Chain A
Amino acid sequence: MTRLAKLYLGAALVLVPLYFLLPRGSFVQGIFHPALSGVAAAIILIRKRTNKQVPWLVIGAGFSVYALANLIWFPLTVARRVPLPFPSIADWLFLVAYTTIGAGLFLYVRSGLVEVDRGALVDAGVLSGGAAILAWVFVIQPSVSGADSAVAIFVALAYPTLDLFMMVPIIFLLLSGIKDWTHRLLAIGVASALAADFSYSIGVLNGTYHFGSFIDAGWLIFFISFGAASMLTPVIARRSGESSPLRGGRFVLLAAAALLGTTYSLYVNLHARLSVVVPLLTIALICLVLIRLRRLVTGGEISVHLMHSIAETFPDAILSLSGDGHITYLNPGGEQIFGYGQNEATGMHVSELLSDFKSPTDLGPDVSVERRDFFELTGTDSFGRNFPVEVHISDASSDGSVIITAGIRGLSARKAAEVALSKSAALESAILGSLSDGLLITDLDKRIVLVNAAFEKLTGWKEEELLGRRPQDVYPVWDDSGREVLEEERVLSQLVKPESETPMSQHNITIGHRDGAHIAVAINGMPILVSGKMVGAVATLRDLTSEREIDQLKSSLVSTVSHELRTPLTMITGLAELLLSGTMTPESSEEGLRLIYSGSLRLGRLIEDLLSVSRIESGSVNARIGEVELSALISETVSAFGDASERIILDGCSKLPTAMGDADLVVQILTNLLSNALKYSDPPSHIQIRATVTDDEIETSITDHGIGLTPEDQDRLFQKFSRIDRPEVHAAGGTGLGLYITKNLVESQGGRMSVSSQLGEGSTFSFVLPLARESQEALR
């Protein structure tokens, strides 16, 4: 109820007791009736509404007439000290006013409904009729029996009859189950008027009515209630034409109205002056109730009742729709699924819940004659989330005049299937993703339908770029001899041929990566047969790059080891053979022995290098990390080089802070780097060892002024068996393992290694080791 309506209602109701405090029959008291009814008429007429204007205008017109009648009747009554003769002009105006107000109420009820609740209308008629009979039998008939004027009797009877005429729409509204203050106020107003008019009719006929009696309160409340009701915004739901269920107290009430009152009135009539009206009305009421009972007996009401119970307990959603697709009912299952309460959903358009369900007529012209079982639609809940639903149409009419019930099938089984499907998809995705080999599936037209991550990596193309395309349009393929493979020779083309039903044996090809690189792969293929019918082909591609690298490495190892073993072995065995032959001069013998010794050392180094590589590869380099005095280790290593150490200059290498490392490994690193520096630079050029200390590290650099390195050489310098194809490098010999080993030894101690070099000018090899904690603290 709005604040303004409350204010009006409160103020006006205060006037009612005030009315009775005034001197009875005073002029001021007399003014109350035309004043309050006039205010009510004005409020009703000036109310601003964009719809349902006509019923209220009619009601307002009725109240205007009422106010006019009051204006005539009360002042005259007051002036004459006795009521006007009955009937007067005012009584005729009152009757016109009641008729108009009653008509307005009917229009009001009708305007709010698309379909009439026939059950409620019948019930309203029965109750009103029952009330009219009771009123007649107990109140009016005894009173009018003594009246002498037919006109007076007619007018006197017209008052309560018209009141009853107003009751029908009000009772109907109340029976419709629409809880609204407008209807309540209208009901209160009509009930008040009814009570006042009955009392007045009897009082007038008996000559007992006096102006200012308590009967007047009924009319005052009638004016006030209607005025307040018109200020509210009524809720009249667009109800379906289905009869409201006949059950509980309502059935008892109807039965009582139709049977008890009428039976008694018939009994009274049989013993008194018979009136034609009462038996006729009685028969009419009984017929109406029988009609309702017939529906009950034939199952109409029971089925509605039963349907309602089923709908309330059904786990799936059930919606009733009006012809234009508005929701008139949503069961609790539907509330769960869609997340709307029944009240929220009522009046919403079905398309808000089922986005692709525009209106019942969209289902097609045949829907009224042919039962359409299931529609796959998309449901939308109150959070805006979409989900699949299956809609079942139980009954529909394409003209929109018949209601439709749409049941949304239980989603549990479907959800379970979807979960299973998504699990299966996730499993498939996980399996495909975990494969290290590229996987490609095509349809019969050789168009790609699926690839895995490894295939994407192999070709450089993303799945979304590949789907629907033919492999030959995406990447080139070459055979082992380097010849480009034609489309019809490709594995997939061979596989999808009708006669191909067996796997294709593996063969090696080279495919073109998106970035232009050539990737050697081993390809296997197999046709995909479903129920014996070929639907496509699957191919797996194994990247041979690392295998080829391993082959290359193996070949390098054999070649290097073979060369490095056989060369010193040739010197040792050959010279020993010459010495044993006794034909050598003493000078030659001495040179021979020296060469044997040098060859033996070389063999020893080779064996040591191979063992180091083996340890690195197996991850078993066990660096025993501890505090190392780098200054001492550098001096020790340098002095081990004998005469060659004269070429070595130390720069900032004394009193170095303690570093963390393995002393034996540090010596091996220094020895390797110094050997290289001496080997690849000519005397008398110097080799410089320089140590630089930072906050937490110490860097040792060995700089030579030898042959130097190209940038390409520097890139692969630390790889296994990497030897630079330059005469001066060949001349110096070596396995190509030294720097690979050195770098790994540095890293095994938590350090790092780098090189900087200029071709022809020399190189600087540096390694960094962490400082001991106490050295770091001392430096701070």
Chain B
Amino acid sequence: MTKTLLIAEDEAGIRSLVRMTLTRADYEILEAEDGPAALALAREHRPRMILLDVGMPGMNGFEVCKALKADPATKDIVIVMLTAMAQESDQKRGVESGADGYLMKPFSPLALLKKVDETFEGLSADE
């Protein structure tokens, strides 16, 4: 099973951090720097998991999440929202848009790795 994961984030530094954290664990990392690119890559490569930044240009993370969950072909992708915004309204919007998890910046890369590992293990068990 390919362990493909999409990181959608407009900040290059954060993308680098995620890439450096996960490549060591043999995850295949796809990168998108705005909402539309994220949607296109998700539909094309159907990654098992997406780390989706909320504040992105073009389409924000909530809109991308909503679109993917509404599409039967992509609705099973595990989506974890990444956000720098600490307001409750953001978490509420994340839940409403169908996200599976929520990760607040700054996050621990080791905790992220653990969460990703668990997610993929869970997915494998399901299969």
Q: Give the B-binding residues of A (Cβ under 8 A).
A: 558-559, 562-563, 565-575, 577-578, 581, 583-584, 588, 591-592, 595, 598-599, 725-731, 733
Contact = CB atoms under 8 A, between A and B. Distances in A.
A507 B85 CA distance: 31
Given A567-B11, A733-B11, A595 B17 contact: yes
B13 A567 contact: yes
Given A577-B110, A578-B20, A566 B57 contact: no
Nearest to B104: A566
Contacts of B16: 571, 591, 595
B91 to A, nearest CB: 14
A733 B21 CA distance: 23
Contacts of A559: 85, 87
A563 B85 CA distance: 6
Contacts of B101: none
Given A569-B106, A570-B17, A584-B20, A731 B84 contact: no
B5 to A, nearest CB: 16
A574 B108 contact: yes
Contacts of B34: 727, 730-731
B30 interface: no
B92 to A, nearest CB: 16
Given A574-B108, A575-B20, A577-B109, A595 B84 contact: no
A725 to B, nearest CB: 7
B3 interface: no
B56 interface: yes
Contact of A562 (B17, B33, B57, B85): B85
B33 A731 contact: yes
Interface residues of B, number: 25
Contacts of A584: 20
Nearest to A584: B20
B20 A562 contact: no
Contacts, number: 85
Give 5 closest A-B pairs by Cβ, nearest first.
A730-B57, A570-B106, A566-B84, A727-B57, A566-B105
Given A563-B85, A592-B20, A595-B13, A570 B110 contact: no
Contacts of B14: 567, 570-571
Nearest to A573: B106
Contacts of B33: 727, 731
A578 B57 contact: no
A520 to B, nearest CB: 20
Nearest to B16: A595
A539 B59 CA distance: 45
B57 A574 contact: no
A704 to B, nearest CB: 20
A14 B86 CA distance: 126
A598 B17 CA distance: 13
13 contacts: A562-B84, A562-B86, A567-B13, A567-B84, A568-B13, A571-B11, A574-B21, A574-B106, A575-B109, A578-B21, A578-B109, A599-B13, A730-B55
B29 to A, nearest CB: 13
Given A571-B11, A571-B17, A572-B106, 6 more contacts: A558-B87, A567-B14, A592-B20, A727-B10, A729-B57, A731-B10
Contacts of A728: 57
A563 B24 contact: no
Interface in B7-33: 10-11, 13-14, 16-17, 20-21, 24, 33
B56 to A, nearest CB: 7
Contact of B56 (A575, A592, A598, A730): A730
A558 to B, nearest CB: 8
Contacts of B17: 570-571, 574-575, 578, 595
A439 B10 CA distance: 50
B13 A571 contact: yes
Contacts of A571: 11, 13-14, 16-17
A706 to B, nearest CB: 16
A569 B58 contact: no
B84 A583 contact: no
Contact of B107 (A568, A570, A727): A570
Given A567-B13, A591-B20, A726-B57, A574 B109 contact: yes
Nearest to B24: A583
Nearest to A599: B13
A725 B57 CA distance: 7
A729 B55 CA distance: 12
Contacts of B13: 567-568, 570-571, 595, 598-599
B108 A577 contact: yes
Contacts of B11: 567, 571, 733
Contacts of B86: 562, 566
A575 B24 CA distance: 14
Residue with the highest number of chain A CB atoms closer than 10 Å, among B20, B57, B86: B20
A727 B17 CA distance: 21
A583 B17 CA distance: 14
A570 B16 CA distance: 11
A636 B107 CA distance: 40
A574 B84 contact: no
A559 B90 CA distance: 11
Nearest to B17: A574
A725 B24 CA distance: 35
